[in-house]
Structure 1
Amino acid sequence: MTTPSLAPPVRIGKAAVGALGMLAAATGVLEAVVSPTLPLLQRELSISRAEGALLSIAMLITGAIFAPIAGNLGDRHGGKWVITRLMTVVVAGGLVSAVAPNLPVMLLGQVLQGAMVGAMPLSFILVRKYLPPGESGVAIGVVSGLFLGGGMLGTLIAGPIAEGLSRHWMFAIPTFTIIVATLFVHRLMPNDPPARTGAKMDWPGLVLLSGILLTLMFVLAMVPDAGGQPLVFGAVVVFLAALVAGWVYVERRSPTPMVDLRMLAKPAIWSSYVITFAVCLGTSSSMFLVPQLFEVPAEAYGFGASATDIGRYLLPGAVAAAISGPLSGVLARRFGASAVVATGIGFLSATLVGMAFIHTEVWHLVIGKVLVALASGICVTAMVVKTATSVDHGDTGTATSLVLVIRVIAYAAGAQLGGAFLTAATPAGSNIPAESAFVTVFVIAGVVTALSLLVVRTLSKGVKE
């Protein structure tokens, strides 16, 4: 496959970065509309809670698969060439979701929408090619922050649009915005040349990696009930290990591997992935626990908050998450990624442990959620920037897409960790878990996050800060 390209200019302007940011915000909105309207979708599509749970994670699973594929294709064929075609898939998914009359069609739309996760590593490819290192870090932070900001906006407007217009429009409006933003990217972003001219796609590696991600998600979903079916759980874990071994074998022998294992062996890369996993697991645990704690009846130890109240309490944290991306890019440029990450991890782990023992007032949890969102966003964005600048240009998409994949896996693992402890601590005949379960998970999340400090110094090995 040949890709037409022009010689890249020295740099791009703010308008081009703004177009990428607009696209990130629009995809963030589309990604977020299902979660707050899930009860409405369950009613209108006549689906059960279990089927609703499947609908809520369909995009998450397919996004984890799409991200490395999109990043790899972007490295091979150019970021702009791939992102415009990828958005065609996303737009198709948004339109299918908008008109879906039943669950199978809605699931198809969500699977297609999962391609949007691949837009992030493709955007990182483009800003790194056309901006100097310091400015590219800030631009990556801006794009990441606008994606989170779009998610916050989608969470806020999905319900009013669905109830005031219809569920169809909550998918259609952000989809039309994605079309406009894609046209701006196509118009303002120069054609970037492929970084790996003539390289063939590693199909065996792609199939095995997809199998690994799907099986891993299945393993995480089984964790809360693993004790009830240990043989099945053990068999799935063994199958996962076999897939990993097969993937490593294939990638080591492929002339054009999907993921260069030598790249993963770089200290700056593997340490970035370890830190990303620990930080996101801790963050996800708190994201799961805080709404649950708000909902616990006031006569027990909670606050008896309604869904509307919970949304209002979580809003400051969503705002903090939105500004954390640009802030991280600026701080990393000024103080270095390692210093920023170490500080963020310190704040995050201290906040998580603090929330374990101080959660008797609503404002305790609101402030804790703000600090968690801010520290986590700063750390993860700094990891994306560090990863992008620690590899050759031809590996930018692949390396950064794996950060996003690890983020998805860690979020799933953190939620399952919280769910398993709360389920185990709920007495028979009751739906209120023991308060000690919240304390335990908050402490575990804080300790896991703090342990990632052990590898922060490794970030600077082999690369310039």
Structure 2
Amino acid sequence: MTTVPAPPIRIGKTAVGALSMLAVATGALESVVTPTLPLLQRELDMSPAEGALLSIVLLVTGALVTPIAGRLGDRYGGKRILIRLMTVVCAGGLVSALAPNLQVLLLGQVLQGAMVGALPLSFILVRKHLPAAESKVAIGVVSGLFVGGGMAGTLSAGPVAEGLSRHWMFALPTIAVIGATLLVNRLMPDDPPGRPDDAGVDWPGLLLLSAALVTLMLALALAPDIIGSQPLMLLALVVVLAALVTGWTAVERRAASPMVDLGLLARPAVWKSCVLTFVICAGTAVAVHLVPQLFAVSADDYGFGAGATEIGFFLLPGAVVASLAGPLSGIGARRFGARAVVCTGGAVMTAALFALAAAHSEVWHLVVGKAMIALANGLCVTALVTGTATAVDPGDTGIATGLVLVTRVIGFAVGVQISGAILTAGTPSGSDVPAESAFVTGFVVAGAVTALSLLVARTLSKGVEE
């Protein structure tokens, strides 16, 4: 006699609220290193190379864990994997908070990198327990609050580290993550496994993907310093990266149960979302890096001479807008479709980047421009994740959204490194202040690339329907 599975339990606002709290807390914990990197370098006596390593290690592990978490969530159940993943994140946060030296802090950051996989697992739970229309809004809320949490962490990390200590900078958001994880465990109903575990974990693909991501991040981190002095080293890294990607592709094609389904990636709804997410996040990262740097340039030159507290205040409107963009995007995607939201967001970001290139002589120019870019990023990324999540089979939700979120992480890393390279190249010899033209170049390059993405966005709806 065949047993008919029970219908999924419909979740209420409290369960979605618990996922939202977890998104805010993990977003804050993810973002505390970047604004306090100079302080960490001083206190832990780090070299610039070690500082670069610290700034990217979470991104590397996050980009690796995300597709794995999505695949395991699809296979074994989203809640089961989410709670285990957040246990690792909480351990990493506590290790980072107690770290006496760089080595222990790096270990904590490696463990914290697992947090990036929490989003696709949250999407699995929302998709299983809510109707399609409501799940779009819920995914938008969770995505937007993750972005808002990241901005909140960026704003608060400096004051906490300076007023209390660097230890509390990690401890406070970790405590919030622990509390939110307990709430999710209590309020979120269990979801049944989506598929049997016939083939196990694709360890060869996992190792090759790990090596490829580490090589990519290492090349991006070292490129500004070695492109002129040691071009052969950079070329060697590119060759190694190409070999690893080729090997990984061959392994995934032959794997019985690949961690990254290349067939799924080849679907227009998925690969177009990945391309657009990469471009949008790279453009956003340029502004995220350049705007605070421009605020900090001395008023005797062409900047404003702002300190850490002032910069945080100037960025506050962007944080507020970023937290609202996700829910707005979910509502817009449900009413007008993902393509309309992405095209609108891309157009707003393009206009804002070109406007910053033309006008950045007043504080309000940068404040408004940065807020518009934060709005556009939230609209685009949330619509792309939402569209991807609802365009694939429910059993593929985790891995499909995981692919999009991996490209988000890589896009941010690439954008930051590109903007850093532009500022380095635009700094006159003997000076530590970049020329104003370097900022203009960065904004123009980001605006031009974002504008080209609109060509892909125009075909997005067709890809989703297919």
Give the TM-score, by structure 2 length: 0.94
**Alignment check: 8 A CA contact 1:127 1:136 kept:** yes
Q: Percent identity?
A: 68
Provide Cα deviations, 1:141-193, integer angstroms capped at 9, x if missing partner.
11112212222332333344334443323322322222221121111111111
Question: 1:162 matched to which residue of 2?
Answer: 161
Aligned length: 460
Which residue pairs with 1:223 in the alignment? Answer: 223
Quote the Cα distance in structure 2 between the aligned partners of 1:396 and 1:301: 48
Q: Are the equivalent residues in 1 in contact too, given 2:272–2:463 (CA < 8 A)?
A: no
Aligned-residue RMSD, C-alpha:
1.7
The aligned counterpart of 1:128 is 127
Q: 2:53: which partner in 1?
A: 54
* Structure 2 partner of 1:16: 15
**Equivalent residue letter for 1:217:** M
SS in 1 for 2:459: helix
Structure 2 CA distance, aligned partners of 1:347 and 1:285? 15
Question: 2:463 and 2:352 mapped to 1: Cα distance?
Answer: 32
Query: Equivalent residue for 1:368?
Result: 369
**For residues 44 and 231 of structure 2, what CA distance do their matches in structure 1 show?**
35
CA–CA distance in 2 between the matches of 1:10 and 1:388?
Answer: 19
Superposition pairs of residues 389-428 of structure 1, within 5 angstroms: 389-428=390-429
Does the aligned pair in 1 maintain the 2:159–2:309 contact within 8 Å? Answer: no
> Which piece of structure 1 moves more, 307-316 or 335-344?
307-316
Cα 1:439/1:158, change in 2 over 3 Å? closer
Query: C-alpha displacement at 1:54, in angstroms?
Result: 2.5
- Per the TM alignment, residue 379 of structure 1 is displaced from its structure 2 partner at its CA by 0.3
Bigger Cα displacement from structure 2, 323-332 vs 288-297: 288-297
Bigger mean CA deviation after superposition, 57-66 or 335-344:
57-66
CA distance in 2, matches of 1:304, 1:459: 43
**Greater CA drift, 382-391 or 145-154:** 145-154
- Give the match for residue 64 of structure 1: 63
Measured in 2, the distance between the counterparts of 1:317 and 1:103 equals 32
CA contact (8 A) 1:7 1:193 kept: no
Aligned to 2:73: 74
Deviation at 1:32, TM superposition (A): 2.4
Matched residue SS, 1:277: helix
Using the TM superposition, give the Cα deviation of residue 87 of structure 1 relative to its aligned residue in structure 2, in angstroms. Answer: 0.9
Cα distance in structure 1, aligned partners of 2:421 and 2:39: 27
Query: Given the superposition, is the C-alpha separation of residues 428 and 462 from structure 1 closer, same or farther in structure 2, using an over 3 Å criterion?
Result: closer
Runs (5+) with no aligned partner, structure 2: none
Q: Distance in 2 between matches of 1:249 and 1:155?
A: 40
SS at match of 1:47: coil
Given the alignment of the two structures, is residue 89 of structure 1 paired with residue 88 of structure 2, yes or no?
yes
- CA offsets, 1:60-79, max 9 Å, x none? 22111111111111111110
Structure 2 distance, partners of 1:428, 1:45, is 29
**Alpha-carbon contact 1:267-1:458 (below 8 Å) kept:** no
Q: CA offset at residue 374 of structure 1? A: 0.3
Going from structure 1 to structure 2, the CA distance change for 1:163 and 1:231 (only over 3 Å counts) comes to closer
Q: In the alignment, which residue of structure 2 is the partner of 1:3?
A: none
Tell me what 1:292 maps to.
Answer: 293
Shift of 1:222: 2.6
Residue 318 of structure 1: how far off its partner (Å) = 1.5
Match of 1:280 in 2: 281
Q: Once the 2 structures are TM-superposed, how far is the Cα of residue 82 of structure 1 from its aligned partner?
A: 0.2
Partner secondary structure for residue 227 of structure 1: coil
- Cα-to-partner distance string for 1:276-310 (whole Å, 9 max, x where unaligned): 11111111111111112122222322222222222
Match for 1:215: what amino acid?
T
Q: Structure 1: which 5+ runs fail to align?
A: 1-5
Given that residues 268 and 464 in structure 2 are in contact (C-alpha distance below 8 angstroms), is that contact kept between their aligned partners in structure 1?
Answer: no
Distance in 1 separating the partners of 2:219 and 2:49: 17
Code of the aligned partner of 1:113? Q
Q: Normalising by structure 1, what TM-score? A: 0.95
Using the TM superposition, give the Cα deviation of residue 129 of structure 1 relative to its aligned residue in structure 2, in angstroms: 0.9
C-alpha contact 2:28 2:152 (8 A) present in aligned 1: yes
Q: Distance in 1 between matches of 2:409 and 2:400?
A: 15
Deviation at 1:453, TM superposition (A): 1.1
CA distance in 1, matches of 2:386, 2:103: 38
* Deviations, residues 229-280 of structure 1 (Å, cap 9, x unaligned): 1211111111111111111111111121112211111111111111111111
Q: 2:436 corresponds to which residue?
A: 435
Q: d(CA) in 1 for partners of 2:191 and 2:240?
A: 40
Distance 1:305 1:167, change over 3 A: closer
Task: Map 1:106-125 onto structure 2 (within 5 A).
Answer: 106-125=105-124
Range moving further from structure 2, 275-284 or 452-461: 452-461
Q: CA deviation at 1:394?
A: 1.8
2:185 maps to a residue whose letter is H
- Preserved contact between residue 8 and residue 128 of structure 2 (Cα < 8 Å): no
Distance 2:235 2:37 in 1: 32
Structure 1 partner of 2:262 = 261
SS for the counterpart of 1:236 is: helix
